[in-house]
Amino acid sequence: MEKEDPIARIEREKAEKKKSNGFAVIVLSIVAVGLAVALAIVGTRDYKMVKELEADKADLTERIGQLQEDFANLSSDYDYINSQLDSSREEVAVLVSRIKRTEATNRAKMREYEKELGTLRSIMRNYLVQIDSLNQQNQKLSAELTTTRKNLAEATGKNHELEAENKEYKAKVATGSVVKARGIVCKAYNGSDKVTDRSSRVRRLAVELSLVENDLAMRGPMTIYLRVKDPDGNLLLDGTNASFTFAGEAVAATASREVDYEGAEVDMIIYVNDIPQYVKGVYTAEVYSASGLLGETELVLR
């Protein structure tokens, strides 16, 4: 066998090695291109996925923001519902904050927030139903209250009418039950118990009157009071310290007398004694009962 020339052998080995390296480069190039394509496909897919997740987060953020606005605009006239609304508003605010802090790629958290959003929406709908129901009940109660007030006003009006009629009746009865007097006369007597008009001779006065018959009047003892004033308007006092109540005030009397009144007419005389001196002029005699002034008369002394 012919021995290969060393130089030729070296050249041949170089050529074979070069050929082998070229093939490896081609293979590696093909692999690199394949990897680049694969990475491009994966990158594109991941990019699309991230964009989709970010869009989902933006949509979730928008929906929770709208729910937050709905809660802010929701109010009621009922304190216990308003208290619950405040609590729900805080929950929504916390959820909004958590969504903003969470990456869109955190699918587990986003699914959790989606469920919480659904729960809060259900709570919102429940509030709306409660408020609507309470408003309807309130309207019904208001209508019933209006009707009740109207009926009460009518009943009150009728009651006032009855009270007015009752007062009028009582007034008539009270008026009808008052004992009246007639024939009031004042006379002056001298020491011989004879009527006189000479002031210097008068020893006592006598006021005569008749209590009129009245079946409606209260029966039993009745005190009649006499007030006699001299020409100067001074009240004569006989020392008996008689007094009575008139218009809510205690009033001094010249004299008084008690009679037994049984509804029939009663004739009576009230005497005025122990007056030191009489002067010329007009004397006024007023007769009273517990019900008021029964009448008056005058006496002229000369």
Domains of the chain by start residue, with CATH: 1-177 (no CATH), 181-301 (2.60.40.10)
- Residue environment code for 69-84, b if the CB has 16+ CB neighbours within 10 A, otherwise e: eebeebebeeeebeeb
The pLDDT-based confidence of 169 (bands split at 50, 70, 90) is: very low
Report in angstroms the alpha-carbon separations of 51 from 8, 48, 58, 108, 110: 63, 5, 10, 17, 14
In 3D space, the residue among 120, 112, 111 whose CA is nearest the CA of residue 65 turns out to be: 120
Mean pLDDT score of the chain, rounded to an integer? 82
CB under 8 Å to 100, separation ≥6 — which residues?
61
Residue 43 has pLDDT above 80, yes or no: no
Task: Say what percent of the chain tops pLDDT 70.
Answer: 79
The pLDDT score that the predictor gives to residue 173 is 42
3-class secondary-structure state, position 247: coil
CB 179 within 8 A of CB 211: yes
Q: What angle do CA 82, 85, 86 make, to 5 degrees?
A: 90
- Give me the mean pLDDT over the 148-162 stretch: 80
Full-model pTM: 0.45
- Give me the mean pLDDT over the 263-271 stretch: 92
The pLDDT score that the predictor gives to residue 196 is 96
Taking residue 301's Cβ as centre, other Cβ atoms within 10 Å add up to 20
pLDDT, greater one: 252 or 64: 252
The pLDDT-based confidence of 235 (bands split at 50, 70, 90) is: very high
- Give me the mean pLDDT over the 157-186 stretch: 70
The pLDDT-based confidence of 186 (bands split at 50, 70, 90) is: very high
CB 229 within 8 A of CB 181: no
Report in angstroms the alpha-carbon separations of 290 from 123, 181, 269, 294: 78, 13, 18, 10
The pLDDT-based confidence of 200 (bands split at 50, 70, 90) is: very high
CB 109 within 8 A of CB 57: no
Order of strands, edge to edge, in the sheet holding 281-289?
A: 255-261, 220-229, 281-289, 292-301
Span of 51-60, 170-179, 202-211, 239-248 with lowest mean pLDDT: 170-179
The pLDDT score that the predictor gives to residue 32 is 62
CB 63 within 8 A of CB 117: yes
- Give me the mean pLDDT over the 134-150 stretch: 85
- Give me the mean pLDDT over the 97-126 stretch: 84
Span of 48-52, 107-111, 210-214, 262-266 with lowest mean pLDDT: 48-52
The pLDDT-based confidence of 165 (bands split at 50, 70, 90) is: low
- Residue environment code for 98-134, b if the CB has 16+ CB neighbours within 10 A, otherwise e: ebeebebeeeebbeebbebbeebeebbeebeeebeee
In 3D space, the residue among 291, 82, 300, 287 whose CA is nearest the CA of residue 187 turns out to be: 300
CB 116 within 8 A of CB 95: yes
Q: What angle do CA 170, 171, 176 make, to 5 degrees?
A: 95
Give the separation between CA 205 and CA 208, rounded to whole angstroms: 10
Residue 180 DSSP symbol = -
Each residue's pLDDT tens digit, 22-42: 566 666 666 666 665 555 544
pLDDT, greater one: 170 or 223: 223
Q: What angle do CA 225, 226, 227 make, to 5 degrees?
A: 130
